[in-house]
Structure 1
Amino acid sequence: MALRTCFALGTLALAALQALAQDSSSAAAQTVTVTGRTQANASVAGFNGVPIGKLPMSATAIGTDQLADAAISTLADITRLDASLSDAYNSPGYWSSLTIRGFVLDNRYNYRRDGLPINAETAIGLANKQAIEVLKGTSGLQAGTSAPGGLVNLVVKRPVAGLRSAAIGVEQGGSVGASLDLSDRSGTNGATGSFGWRINADAEKLDPQLRHAEGRRHLLALAADARLGPGSLIEAELEWSRQRQPSLPGFSLLGSRLPDAGAIDPRTNLNNQPWSLPVVLEGRTASLRYTHELRPDWKLSVQAMTQRLRSDDRVAFPFGCSAENNYDRYCSDGTFDFYDFRSEGERRDTDVLDAALSGRTTLAGMEHRFTVGLMATRLDARFNRQAYNWVGVGHIDGSAIAPADPTLTDENTNRDERSTELRLQDQVAITRDTTLWAGLRSSKVERASVRTDGSRPTDYEQTLSTPWLAISHQLSPATMAYASWGQGVETEVAPNRARYLNRGQPLPALKSRQLEAGLKHRSTAVDAGVTLFDIRRPLWADIGSCDDDGTCIRRADGEQRHRGIEAEAEARLGAFSLRGSAMLLKARIEGNSNPSVEDKRPTNVPKIALKAQAAYNVPTLPGLALLGFVSHEGDRAVLPDNSIVAAGWTRIDLGLRYAMKAGPTTLTWRAGIDNVADRRAWKETPYQFSHAYLYPLAPRRAHASLNVQF
């Protein structure tokens, strides 16, 4: 009924808009661009001011128009727009988790906000974000410690002149949202006036098709800047966000059997107990940035940011099958062990101070564009005791009811971290067409952890260096070839538990390494690129029986190697705008002492991914564009030994966008249907908490929105 209603409303609205367009001489044609990456800069790369097409690395920038056309409201949904991106335990109602090139990003270390590190263990609002930048590849140049694969950087909206925008959107199931974006500048310089401000507000009533998942989401943000004099700018911004919504636990294997995704209702929420409580994710962020042009091509920048996250993590959690002595899957008959999990009053605080000097000079007859910077970061995580109590047996049809047990029976772990990072980057013009790119980041890391009862304390300090080197050559004004080599680094400490012989000891820093070569072509009509990469990441493992005290040692054991090829192309052909990306990936565990995983694929990593977007600008009705999105991901291993594999899937989304002028007002209507064929499949297969989980593709969904600029 909701779907038919949405279609009817869309048809009536389109007829009315067409009539208005025919009667109004002010109707304006507006080309829909399905991606905004061509001329964009990606500050996440660390070479500010260099367009993506000129960087010797793979990166992309997803703008607000692309997010709006695809009806994307959470960070997890950007996986629809790039083949290198995929899901990593993306539970609705929880924070987003991503993989790049098959490696899971660490929510504590692989995310940036205007170039500064943030903790992404929260719901990230997009209403005040101008772009989402994605760096693909080992990120040691940009981050002191981080998982390999890449970085995600959120670019905050800044003041512009004369912006007045309001939007409202509806979604099948009952979700309704409204947002406001207001900005202006004042002073004698017009669009570049001496003072600017911007306000973003967003409120959403969440009532998705997923059952028992009603919630609320809010965001309020303020940005301001002031030009203190020639070449001097100070910028400040504040953001508050809050999401309150029950989360969705995953399905799992039923004994030795992979359940048929077509027989599972994707709207079923196993977190459906009468005592189930929503996950509450609240964040407050503030930043201040000062930039000053010392002289032409020389700039000083100082940034400070503070982030305060508060959360209540609560779920009726399915985990394992004690009846069959299997704790990495559900029971053969569809039942599972039910736990009452509650961790309330969680606090995660991040403070960052960064100073950088960039300039251009000539040394040894060659031009150098360099940056030298120093960044200090403090991260604190404070928790209370938590509940993790067995309360009974559940069933995958969602029919079983278990009693609550919120008793605080388990300890949590508090963490402290301090890091100081010195970075050097240089762009050297060897010849007119050949450029050498070099970088080095040296990081001093201090980390400590302790259980909430004071037990199992650990404390260690390490100094790490991550170099990066690349060379690029302009084959023609439109075509560039490049090759690069770089390192990333991760650190860990052996758990301070009696069964570990090296308990509480820091492990040697494990360095990932990447080789990458690429070809980029940028022209007026066609943009294209192809990239080859080879990433090696050492693995930690527990060696020994690990059943009794002193029988286990934590150490490096083999590596995870991902070799692949990425290709992307964007073309503007008359009324068509087309973009597509593809990735072929060979991911393997190599050199591991465990024969069951040696030379096996990592779990939840597809061999192939294809993503495409298209827009057709209807010539007979200027302002109307028909949109199409195709996502395909190949099969995935469910278990580490690859004995069970989930089939690949393809999803098709359709939509339209209509922009019209009514005097000084521009109205932009959008409507769409996601998963048009109502495809049923296991979208992702994360092996999380030593447990195999399965998340289904979301069912068919209709949505519509209206944006008004006035």
Structure 2
Amino acid sequence: MAITHHVPTRCALAAALFASAFATQAQGTETITITGTAERLPAFAGFPGQTDARTPLQAQSWNAERLADENVTRLGDITRLDAGVSEAYDATGYWAGLSVRGYTLDNRFNVRREGLPVSGETAFALENKEAVELLKGASGMQAGTSAPGGLVNLRVKRPVAGKRSATVWWEGSSTTGAAVDLGDRSGPDGAFGWRVNAAYEDMEPRLHDTDGHRRLLAVALDWQLNPGSLVEFEIEHSRQQQPSAAGYSLRGNTVPDAHDINLLTNLNHQPWNGPVEMEGTTASLRWRQRLAEDWQLRAQAMVQKLRTDDRTAFPYGVYDANYECADWCDRFAPDGSFTYWQYVSLNERRDSTALELAASGTARTGAVEHAIEFGALRSRYRGRFEDQIFDIAGTGKDDGSLVSPPSAGYPDANTNRDETSTEFFLRDAMTLPGGWSLWAGLRHTRLARESWRTSADSDGSLRATDYDQAVTTPWMALAWQWTAATMVYASWGRGVESAVVPNRPRYANAGQALPALKSRQREIGLKHAGASVDASLALFQIERPRTGELNAGCDGDVDDSCRLGVVGEQRHRGVEASVVWRTGAVDWRASAMLLDAVRHESGSGDGLRPENVPARTLRLGADWRVAGLLLQADLRAEGDRVVLPYDDSVRIPGWASLDLGARWTQALAGGRSITWRTGVDNVFDRKAWKESPYQFDHVYLYPLQSRTWRASASLKF
């Protein structure tokens, strides 16, 4: 639903190193050729040509096979793969909500596809994705404006020779699906390549009243014009229709016991409600040209067009017919009752375009070797909406027993938005004598944003706002190659977010742009890549400005009684660690994060731990290969989470969950094979609250997914 609205620091071991988030790009003397797989993009984190193990950044990359083994079918599922990633209002049937290092990612600005900005306010199909990549920490060097937790990048599948596979699967109650992945090369020396991915799924999860369906069709083409020139094009269209899952909440002042509630009940179920429909088409075109020895030009463009029909029977506080709330405004009543609000926002359109031109190569100044990338990015976002309904319907209860009448259907204005961003960037990885290296990056961003209501107020006002802003975000790191396999580093960088005071009568400074909200990050780390062990360790601190009401006498019903501004900052100080240990037949995986998150601000929130941020997270896994069979076990565990932004004593307890899986590849005649997968998530059917987002000024509780069996078969032919 989209509505416009001191603990000591501890250290830990854990988290899995990444194999290819910063894959090596062709060096200048090498020809851009295609031999089985398309040449990979420069890593979206920057510094093309550098290997991950020797880059002073913390990142992760999960390829398509790993995603299939771990049953990652939607973007929100990557929380099971890394301890640094967690849920943040991640509802079934809706777009993914993620946090990294405790900061919630902004779906408008923290999502990339093929390295270019796209809106994350949609459901991404993963059947045509080669990898999901994650950059952790402040990302001002990689993105003009973004939340400081990190960036997510989706990398699509590119043409390969002789690709033929078909997959069918079953999951949960009766979810079934099928997908095909076809590709080949033709022409002189395989100069032309194509790949097609198609998928369809009927969704019948164990969670009641969330049945739906989705489909995907994607095509990727490339053409090797000559040994130094490559053109790549891809397009995908997807559609998903499924009711979303509404969250539970506090019962009065009490966190309800998850064992006392039927967690398979979807509170977003009323006769007058409908599904959320998300449809999207995205296309990109990229040209890479070798300019000279050791230098390459890259030009790429992307267009994304999204359409959404958002419908929700929304549990929200306890209100009367006059929209008055006496006691339980941000939670349910002690008996579990609440007010249903009917939310309908149809024909939401979000269009994004991006064009990037960049050059990369190497140079030498004396004893210093430079790996340089510089370029420019122009992007635009347009959000067009119609009037919405958000009105009181009736009374509900958290056991799902009450049927509510629909609302009167009074329309309310929505908000249209435009944004244009022009960014210039420069990055340089400098190799110094004695095993030292210096890394530096700089991005300058010029923003132009405006918004206006979809219908006028009684005084004829559209509450229009517009502003321009220019920001510069630096990043630098110093690294030392301790041994051939081990690097230590220290880094510092900035990120930035941009905000405007809502143009509402309550604000005396309505419509004014706030100063650029600059976050900053300091990090010290170690990375090791050996024959049998990959490991990393990072100590980080991220500070981010917090906005809020500047005056104590703010009254939402009184004009000009409030002023919005920066009231302090939120500091996340933590340590995250990871290890992958290969011991013959068994691969051991572990990742962990300990996080000391605290708010420093004026008012009653000073010194409190932020809501919905776990202080401890752990991911453990083992892959055991025996007699052609791969057996998997994964343990996920998290500590407690704060529920309220103004009282950190109210918390949901921590939890742990075990997943098991198996994979067996059966060889067939003629070089064909079938890969069988089976597994069960939440083996012991643990009942617990997995997250507690305070969203739209209301407490919500989302449970762990109940025990779910799954099976699939993939034929290569």
Give the match for residue 4 of structure 2.
Answer: none
Aligned to 1:55: 55
Q: 2:664 aligns with which of 625, 641, 658?
A: 658
Q: Deviations over 1:42-62 (max 9, x none)?
A: 612112232221110100101
Deviation at 1:373, TM superposition (A): 0.7
CA deviation after TM superposition for structure 1 residue 681, in Å = 0.5
1:693 matched to 2:692: no
1:377 pairs, out of 376, 379, 392, with 379
Counterpart-to-counterpart distance in 2, 1:47 and 1:185: 30
Q: Deviations over 1:436-458 (max 9, x none)?
A: 00000000000000111141100
Aligned partner of 2:622 among 609, 614, 617: 614
Partner of 2:482, secondary structure, is strand
Q: Spell out the pairing of 1:173-192 with structure 2 (5 A cutoff).
A: 173-189=173-189
In 1: Cα distance, 2:592 partner to 2:326 partner: 42
2:683 is aligned to 676
Structure 2 residue corresponding to 1:478, chosen from 472, 485, 489: 485
Asked if structure 1 preserves the Cα contact closer than 8 Å seen for 2:467 and 2:513, the reply is yes
Which residue matches 2:644?
639
8 Å contact kept, 1:44–1:152: no
Determine the C-alpha separation between the residues in 2 that align with 1:314 and 1:568.
41
Give the Cα separation in 1 of the matches to 2:68 and 2:161.
22
Report the CA distance between 1:700 and its aligned residue.
0.5
* Deviation for aligned residue 1:92: 0.2
Kept in 2: contact 1:377–1:420 (CA 8 A): yes
Q: Which residue pairs with 1:229 in the alignment?
A: 226
Contact preservation (8 Å) 2:16, 2:590: no
Q: Classify the secondary structure of the residue corresponding to 2:65.
A: helix
| Of 552, 555, 564, the match for 2:574 | 564
CA distance in 2, matches of 1:239, 1:350: 15
Runs of 5+ in structure 1 lacking a partner?
1-33
In 2, the alpha carbon distance for the partners of 1:615 and 1:138 equals: 32
> Structure 1: which amino acid aligns with 2:78?
I
The equivalent of 2:270 in structure 1 is: 273
**Counterparts of 1:262 and 1:659, CA distance in 2:** 39
User: Residue by residue, what CA displacement relative to the aligned partner does 1:555-584 show, whole Å, maximum 9, x if unpaired?
Assistant: 111100000000000011011011110000
CA deviations over 1:409-436 (Å, ceiling 9, x no partner)? 2110000000100000001112151110
Q: Structure 2: how far apart are the matches of 1:540 and 1:465?
A: 21
| Partners of 1:340 and 1:406 within 8 A in 2 | no
2 CA distance for matches of 1:675 and 1:550? 51
CA–CA distance in 2 between the matches of 1:450 and 1:270? 33
- Report if aligned partners of 2:76, 2:96 keep a CA contact under 8 Å in 1: yes
Query: Which runs of structure 2 are paired with 1:64-143 in the superposition (5 Å)?
Result: 64-143=64-143
Q: Is the 8 A contact 2:20 2:61 kept in 1?
A: no
CA contact (8 A) 1:44 1:134 kept: no
**Residue 363 of structure 2 corresponds to which residue in structure 1?**
361
Conserved? CA contact 1:315–1:340, under 8 Å: yes
Aligned mates of 1:408, 1:335 — CA distance in 2:
24
Which SS does the other structure have where 1:483 is aligned?
A: strand
Alpha-carbon distance between aligned partners in 2 of 1:156 and 1:296, rounded to the nearest angstrom = 28
Q: Which moved more, 1:50-59 or 1:77-86?
A: 50-59
SS in 2 for 1:332: coil
Q: What displacement does 1:187 show?
A: 2.5
Give me the whole-angstrom Cα distance separating, in 2, the residues matched to 1:187 and 1:50: 32
Partner in structure 2 of residue 146 of structure 1: 146
Q: Size of the alignment, in residue pairs? A: 669
Query: Do residues 292 (structure 1) and 298 (structure 2) align?
Result: no
Query: Counterpart in 2 of 1:498?
Result: 505
Distance 1:584 1:57, change over 3 A: same
Whether the aligned pair in 1 keeps the contact of 2:481 and 2:487 (CA below 8 Å) is yes
Percentage identity across paired residues of the two chains? 50
For the pair 1:162 / 2:162, whether they are aligned, the reply is yes
RMSD across aligned C-alpha pairs, in angstroms? Answer: 1.2
Aligned CA distance change for structure 1 residues 162 and 452 (closer, same or farther; 3 Å): same
CA distance in structure 1 between the partners assigned to 2:559 and 2:388 by the alignment: 25
- Within 1, Cα distance between the matches of 2:680 and 2:699? 31
The residue aligned with 1:705 is 712
Matched, 1:394 2:396: yes
Q: How does 1:199-348 map to 2 (within 5 A)?
A: 199-322=196-319, 324-348=326-350
Q: Given the alignment of the two structures, is residue 459 of structure 1 paired with residue 487 of structure 2, yes or no?
A: no
Distance 1:131 1:294 in 2: 29
Normalised by the size of structure 2, how large is the TM-score?
0.92
Q: Which moved more, 1:365-374 or 1:42-51?
A: 42-51
Q: What is the rounded CA distance, in whole Å, between the counterparts of 1:325 and 1:532 in structure 2? A: 43
Deviation at 1:406, TM superposition (A): 6.4
1:517-556 maps to which residues of 2 (within 5 A)? Answer: 517-544=524-551, 545-547=553-555, 548-556=558-566
* 1:89 positional shift: 0.3
Q: Is the 8 A contact 2:439 2:478 kept in 1?
A: yes
- Contact 1:36 1:66 (8 Å CA) reproduced: no
CA distance in 1, matches of 2:596, 2:105: 18
Q: 1:27 maps to what in 2?
A: none
Aligned mates of 1:307, 1:585 — CA distance in 2: 36
Return 5+ residue gaps in structure 2 as ranges. Answer: 1-14, 24-42, 320-324, 457-461
Indicate conservation of the 8 Å contact 1:387/1:406, yes or no: no
Moved more, 506-515 or 427-436: 427-436
* Cα distance between partner residues in 1 of 2:576 and 2:431: 27
Matches of 1:696 and 1:324 in 2, distance apart?
A: 28
Match of 1:410 in 2: 412
How far off its partner does 1:302 sit?
0.3
Cα 1:339/1:644, change in 2 over 3 Å: same
DSSP-derived class of the 2:188 partner: coil
Q: C-alpha displacement at 1:36, in angstroms?
A: 8.3
Say if 1:273 and 1:402, in contact at 8 Å, map to a contact too.
yes
Q: Which moved more, 1:562-571 or 1:549-558?
A: 549-558
Q: Are the aligned partners of 2:167 and 2:712 in contact in 1 as well (CA < 8 Å)? A: yes
The aligned residue for residue 422 of structure 1 is 424
Q: CA deviation at 1:408?
A: 4.3
Match among 612, 625, 642 for residue 604 of structure 1: 612
- Corresponding residue SS for 2:76: helix
Shift of 1:41: 2.2
Partner SS state of residue 44, structure 2 = helix
Paired letter, 1:346 = E
Q: Which amino acid aligns with 2:624?
A: Y
- Given that 2:543 and 2:572 are in contact with CA atoms closer than 8 Å, whether structure 1 keeps it comes out as yes
Question: AA paired with 1:588?
Answer: V
Alpha-carbon displacement from aligned partner over 1:341-385 (angstroms, at most 9, x marks no partner): 100000000000000011111124421110111000010000000
Matching residue's letter, 2:656: T
**SS at 1:642's partner residue?**
strand
Paired residue secondary structure (2:18): coil
Would the aligned equivalents of 2:195 and 2:219 in 1 still touch at CA under 8 Å? yes
SS in 1 for 2:53: helix
Confirm or deny: 8 A CA contact 2:21 2:133 kept in the other structure.
no
* Preserved CA contact (<8 Å) 1:518 1:529: yes
